[in-house]
C-alpha cells in the first residue's frame, strides 16, 4: 500500500477530540491555580490501557516526568493521566517529587485504583512549588463524562499562554473494526522539541500491546512533534502520552500485523495535526509557516534543514512583515549543518520562485507580499542531492511574543 493509499484509509472526524474513541472519559476544573480559568484535567480509560510516551530531551526534567516514567514501567498500562497548568513543578527538588507522587495518589484514590494506574503532567512556571491544597480541591471536584464539553474542559485546563485549545480526531478500519483516535495538546511558547513546552495526549480504542505502541510512537515522533519550533527553547516538562484501551476489538497490532502501516499512519496524522496546531498558536503568532525541503540524500538532513529555516528569527520576522526576503532562507540553510550545493538551490514562496538553480529570479514583489499575508505560508526548497524530503512547521515572530514573555512570570 503506497503513501497516498494509506492517507485515503484515514478519515478525519469533524470536531474530533480525545473522547471519540470508545471507553474514555475526561474532565477539567478550576482549582484556583489560575485566577479564573480551568487548571486541573483528567483523562480516564474505563479499562487498563496500553501506554507509551516520549519526553523532553532537556537534561533538566520536571518531577512529573519521573513519576510518569515510573507508572508506565510497572505494567506498561494506565487508567489515565492527571494534569495541572499554572505550575511546572520543575526544579523543585525532593518536595516537588513528593508533590507529584501525592498528585498521582490523590487521583488514584478518587477512582479507587492503585497509584501506578495514573500518569502525571504539569505545565507552567518553573521553580515554584505546587499549591497542594488547591490540587486536592481540584481533584476532589473532578467528575468525568464522555461528552464533547468534557473534552473541551480538559483541553482548557492544560493551557498556559495558549490562545486556543488544540484537538483532533481520526478513524480507520483495521480487521474490519472501526478504530478511532483522538488528541488534545497544549503548547505556545518554549517550543523547540525534542520535546518542548508542549503536552500531547492521544487516545485510541485500538488493541495494541505497550511495546508495540511505544515502537509506533517513537517511529512517528521525529516526523511530527520534533519538527515544530516556535522560539528555539526546549522546556523541562513535556511529553506526548498515548493510551490504547483495545475497545475497538481488532486483533492486537504489532509489526507483524498486515495493517500495521495503517495504524502508523493513523498515529502520524493525529500527531501531525496536533503539532501543526501548536506551531500555529505560537505566542503572539499570526501565521503558520511550513517549510518543505526536497532533494536530499538523507531524510534526517532534509528535516534538519527545514527546521533550521523555520526556526530562524530572521525568516520568522520576514514572514511577520510579509517580506519575500529569500536571502534569509538560504543563509539559514548554510548554517544548518547540512552539506548542499548553493548553486543548485531553488527557493519558492508557495509557487512563486524567487531563486532558481542558485540564480536570483525576477518576481512580482506585490504578488509575493500578497501570498505572505496569508495565515498559512509554505516555503519550498528544491535541491539535487537525492530523493529524500523533510518538512517542519513554525510561526512568525511578532511584537506580541516579546510582550507575552517579558512578563510571563510576574
**What grid cell was written down for 386?**
537525492
| Reduced 3-state DSSP string for the chain | CCHHHHHHCCEECCCCCCCCCCCEEEEEECCCCCCCCCCEEEEEEEEEEEEEEEECCCCCCCHHHHHHHHHHHHHCEEEEEEEECCECCCCCHHHHHHHHHHHHHHHHHHCCCCHHHEEEEEECECCCCCCHHHHHHHHHHCCCECCHHHHHHHHHHCCCCCCCCEEEEEEEEECCEEEEEEEEEEECCCCCCCCCCEEEEEEECCCECHHHHHHHHHHHHCCCHHHECCCCCCCCCCEEEEEECCCCCCCCECCCCCCHHHHHHHHHHHHHHHHHHHHHCCCCCCCEEEEEEEEECCHHHHHHHHHHHHHCHHHHHHHHCCCCCHHHHHHHHHCCCCCCCHHHCEEEECCEEEEECCEECCCCHHHHHHHHCCCEEEEEEECCCCCEEEEEEEECCCHHHHHHHHCCCC
* Cβ contact 178:248 at 8 Å: yes
Active site residue 197: yes
Residue 370's CB: how many other CB atoms inside 10 A? 12
Q: Which of 197, 204, 236, 345 is catalytic?
A: 197
Residue 192 CB contacts under 8 Å (≥ 6 apart), including other chains? 229, 230, 231, 232, 233, 234, 311
Known catalytic residues are 197
Amino acid at each position: 500500500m503506497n503513501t497516498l493509499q494509506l492517507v485515503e484509509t484515514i478519515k478525519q472526524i469533524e470536531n474530533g477530540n480525545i473522547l471519540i474513541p470508545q471507553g474514555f472519559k475526561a474532565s477539567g476544573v478550576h482549582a484556583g491555580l489560575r485566577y479564573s480559568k480551568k487548571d486541573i484535567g483528567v483523562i480516564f480509560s474505563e479499562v487498563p490501557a496500553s501506554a507509551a510516551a516520549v519526553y523532553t530531551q532537556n537534561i533538566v526534567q520536571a518531577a512529573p516526568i519521573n513519576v510518569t516514567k515510573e507508572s508506565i514501567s510497572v505494567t506498561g498500562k494506565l487508567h489515565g493521566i492527571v494534569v495541572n497548568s499554572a505550575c511546572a513543578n520543575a526544579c523543585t527538588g525532593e518536595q516537588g517529587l513528593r508533590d507529584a507522587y501525592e498528585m498521582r495518589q490523590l487521583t488514584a484514590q478518587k477512582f479507587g485504583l492503585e497509584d501506578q494506574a495514573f500518569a502525571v503532567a504539569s505545565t507552567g512556571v518553573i521553580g515554584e512549588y505546587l499549591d497542594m491544597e488547591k490540587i486536592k480541591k481540584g481533584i476532589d471536584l473532578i467528575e468525568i463524562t464522555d461528552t464533547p464539553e468534557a473534552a473541551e474542559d480538559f483541553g482548557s485546563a492544560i493551557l498556559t499562554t495558549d490562545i486556543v485549545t488544540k484537538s483532533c480526531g481520526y478513524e480507520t478500519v483495521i480487521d474490519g473494526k472501526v478504530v478511532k483516535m483522538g488528541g488534545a495538546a497544549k503548547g505556545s511558547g518554549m517550543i523547540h522539541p525534542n520535546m518542548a513546552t508542549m503536552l500531547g495526549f492521544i487516545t485510541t480504542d485500538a488493541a495494541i500491546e505497550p511495546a508495540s505502541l511505544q515502537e509506533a510512537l517513537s517511529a512517528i515522533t521525529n516526523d511530527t512533534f520534533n519538527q515544530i519550533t516556535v522560539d528555539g527553547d526546549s522546556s523541562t516538562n513535556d511529553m506526548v502520552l498515548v493510551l490504547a484501551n483495545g475497545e475497538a476489538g481488532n486483533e492486537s497490532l504489532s509489526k507483524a500485523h498486515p495493517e500495521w502501516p495503517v495504524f502508523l499512519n493513523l498515529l502520524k496524522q493525529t500527531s501531525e495535526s496536533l503539532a501543526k496546531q501548536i506551531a500555529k498558536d505560537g505566542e503572539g503568532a499570526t501565521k503558520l509557516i511550513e517549510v518543505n525541503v526536497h532533494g536530499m540524500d538523507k531524510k534526517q538532513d532534509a528535516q534538519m534543514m527545514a527546521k533550521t529555516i523555520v526556526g530562524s528569527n530572521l525568516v520568522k520576522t520576514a514572514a511577520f512583515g510579509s517580506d519575500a526576503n529569500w536571502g534569509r532562507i538560504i543563509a539559514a540553510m548554510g548554517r544548518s549543518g547540512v552539506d548542499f550545493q548553493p548553486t543548485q538551490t531553488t527557493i519558492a514562496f508557495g509557487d512563486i520562485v524567487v531563486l532558481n538553480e542558485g540564480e536570483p529570479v525576477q518576481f512580482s514583489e506585490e504578488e509575493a507580499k500578497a501570498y505572505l499575508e496569508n495565515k498559512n505560508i509554505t516555503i519550498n526548497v528544491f535541491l539535487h542531492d537525492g530523493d529524500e524530503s523533510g518538512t517542519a512547521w513554525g510561526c512568525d515572530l511578532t511584537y506580541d511574543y516579546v510582550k507575552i514573555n517579558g512578563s510571563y512570570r510576574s
